[in-house]
């Protein structure tokens, strides 16, 4: 994959997370990435959906990479780290940037991109569950909590953006941390 193609996909991921699918244009991607105008159809002959698909894949891979670094952590530490990444993104962007997968899910309409976002969300859930299982949490409880964690944090991100406030986000994370601590596993007080 070329550097220009990757830069364009990463710019698209940022723009999707900030502006949504409908408002993310090739012109904005070119401007944000610094790619030459001729790059559009050279690198993405399938059009916008091909670009967005690669952007989602790259963003999802970054999250998985971050989760991979949490191997061996307690459930509470996993929650803290996962939530901290999203909080930091909100802080750095002054509440302007959320999640590109959520943006596509909410605004791309039914079809392949929404299906892809669903598949990528499932990968995050599976990876989170494996971290909890690795910490000694029962498989069923780990899978259930992983889905809850992702849904709650994504919802908290959306509310934080809408309200330009961490009030709800921080309360949600506090409850998730308490629930993670109650799951047991290695490193818990139970």
> DSSP states of 7-53 as a string?
HHHHHHHHHHHHH-TTT--HHHHHHHHT--TTHHHHH-TT-HHHHHH
- Using a cut of 0.85, tell me whether the model's pTM lies above it: yes
Write out pLDDT tens, residues 160-182: 999 999 999 999 999 999 999 99
Q: Which two tokens stand for residue 155?
A: 């919802």
The per-residue b/e assignment along 8-38, b for 16 or more CB within 10 angstroms, e otherwise, is bbbbbbbbbbbbbbeebebebbbebbebeee
Distance CA 168, CA 156 (A): 6
Whole-angstrom Cα distance, residue 158 to residue 129?
23
In total, the chain counts a number of residues equal to 190
User: What's the confidence (pLDDT) of residue 107?
Assistant: 79
Give the CA angle between residues 104, 110, 115 to the nearest 5°: 65
pLDDT of residue 180: 96
Q: How far apart are CA 26 and CA 48, in angstroms?
A: 7
Residue 128 has pLDDT above 80, yes or no: yes
For residue 187, what pLDDT is reported? 55
Collapsing DSSP to helix, strand or coil, 66 comes out as helix
Q: What is the largest CA-CA distance in the chain?
A: 60
Decide: 70 and 146 in contact? Cβ < 8 Å: no
Q: Three-state DSSP class for 65?
A: helix
> How far is 55 from 50, CA to CA, in rounded Å?
9
Please write the tens of the pLDDT for every residue from 28-85: 999 999 998 888 888 988 888 999 999 999 999 999 999 999 999 999 999 999 999 9
What is the pLDDT at residue 189?
Answer: 47
What is residue 190's predicted lDDT score, i.e. its pLDDT? 43
pLDDT of residue 40: 83
């Amino acid at each position: 994959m070329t550097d220009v193609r990757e830069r364009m996909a990463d710019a698209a991921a940022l723009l999707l997370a900030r502006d949504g699918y409908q408002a993310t244009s090739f012109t904005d991607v070119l401007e944000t990435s610094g790619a030459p105008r001729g790059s559009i159809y050279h690198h993405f002959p399938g059009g916008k959906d091909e670009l967005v698909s690669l952007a989602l894949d790259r963003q999802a891979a970054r999250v998985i990479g971050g989760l991979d670094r949490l191997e061996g952590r307690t459930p509470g530490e996993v929650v803290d780290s996962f939530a901290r990444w999203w909080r930091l993104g909100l802080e750095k962007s002054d509440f302007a940037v959320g999640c590109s997968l959520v943006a596509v899910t909410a605004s791309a309409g039914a079809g392949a991109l929404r299906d892809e976002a669903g598949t990528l969300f499932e990968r995050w859930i599976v990876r989170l569950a494996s971290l909890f299982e690795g910490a000694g949490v029962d498989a069923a409880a780990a899978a259930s909590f992983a889905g809850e964690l992702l849904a709650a944090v994504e919802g908290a991100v959306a509310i934080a953006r809408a309200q330009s406030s961490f009030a709800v986000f921080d309360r949600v994370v506090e409850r998730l941390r308490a629930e993670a601590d109650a799951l047991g596993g290695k490193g818990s007080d139970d």
